[in-house]
Amino acid sequence: MSEFNDEHYLRAVTKLGDTRKIVADRDIYSQSGIKLVAAGVHVTSDLYEHLIKHKLLSMLDEALSVENMLDSKCILADVHDLFQANEKLQRMSEVIDKSFSEQKNSCHSIPAPARFQVDGSP
């Protein structure tokens, strides 16, 4: 089975689409050139059986976006909350150089596959 056709991952992604909005950002094709899912379609568990029958042309998560995807702003907000909730971290943050603050504001975007796979919050 191709790395693009992990049945367990495919089941998890399509099942997640039942509770969170997952949309195809672009058309999804099989290796034989058949369009399996059109761009803009909401991906749910209803598509599992259709997708599992084919070998995908590319990684599924590169073609999908999920509602509330992880991004650098989310990470920075979580870091800030952690620092504020812990006295030791709060003191440490007071010592950190201002350049760190400038760097954190210029975080690069996270690749879509990583955003898709990392965020587990509803």
Contact 14, 48 (CB under 8 A): yes
E-strand stretches of 12-101: 22-24, 28-29, 35-37, 64-66
Find, among 2, 16, 1, 112, the residue nearest to 58 by Cα. Answer: 2
Contact 5, 58 (CB under 8 A): no
Q: pLDDT at position 108, please?
A: 60
**Sign for the pseudo-dihedral over CA of 68, 72, 75, 79:** negative
Count Cβ atoms within 10 A of the Cβ of residue 97 and give its class: 0-12 exposed, 13-18 middle, 19 or more buried.
exposed
pLDDT band at 67 (very low <50, low <70, confident <90, very high): confident
pTM: 0.61
Please give the structure tokens belonging to residue 28.
């999804």
Tens digit of each residue's pLDDT (9 = 90 or more) over 54-65: 989 888 878 888
Q: pLDDT at position 52, please?
A: 92
